[in-house]
Amino acid sequence: MKNQTKLKKDFDKKDFDSGASTFKIFCWYFTSMLIFRSGLMPSSSVLVWILRLFGAKIGKDVRIKPYIYIHYPWKLSIGDYSWLAECRIENLAEVSIGNNVCVSQKAMLLTGNHDYKKADFDLITKPIVLEDGVWIGANAVVCPGVTAASHAVLTVGSVATKDLESFSIYQSNPAIKVKDRVID
């Protein structure tokens, strides 16, 4: 029991920078619960406007669907003409989404994990980059530190633990390249 108490105290002391004040995090939490995750606001333009108010960098004609979960909007940038469905963005580190990107239903972008080699499970955060033309399929997972190069595809239910090459289609867990992506 003594070791568990020490572990909790050590874990609570870890230096993680949320990038915002406690007040801003509090305001975002309730805004997210009431407007984004509840689905009460179906208008993409209003959702984009609110995300910008909280510090997200968002390009033109971006579509944000209801029921989306974004942990920290101030650590999110989205290029022009991108589309985010009811996905989950756990962005403890920066998430950069390029132009013409699609993140499908129930997909997860995870920038944080814990170091299982350490007794106190140190938090590890690494950014995610989705370059132009990337498509993340429904129920797919992108792990911390992954870059999906231009026009890569991660298929339904796949898990990207390593970088994805441009114009390539990836499938499985862990994701492996199954073929080239040819665009007409």
Alpha-carbon distances, residue 153 vs 68, 78, 148 (angstroms) = 21, 17, 8
**Does some domain include residue 120?**
yes
Show the beta-strand stretches assigned E in the chain.
57-58, 63-64, 69-70, 76-78, 83-84, 88-90, 95-97, 102-103, 108-110, 112-114, 123-125, 128-130, 135-136, 141-142, 147-148, 153-154, 159-160, 168-171, 176-180
Q: Which residue segment(s) compose the domain that 49 sits in?
A: 17-180
As given in the structure block, the two tokens for residue 97 are 């989404």
**pLDDT on residue 184:** 87
As given in the structure block, the two tokens for residue 9 are 């105290």
Q: pTM, whole model, 2 decimals?
A: 0.90
**Does some domain include residue 6?**
no
Q: Which is nearest to 154 in space by CA: 101, 88, 100?
A: 101
Q: How many domains are there within the chain? A: 1
**pLDDT on residue 97:** 98
**Does some domain include residue 10?**
no
**Does some domain include residue 4?**
no
> Residue 35 is part of a domain; what is its CATH number?
2.160.10.10
**Does some domain include residue 3?**
no
**Does some domain include residue 1?**
no
> Tens digits of per-residue pLDDT, 115-124?
889 888 889 9
- Low-confidence stretches of the chain (pLDDT < 70) are 1-14
**Does some domain include residue 2?**
no
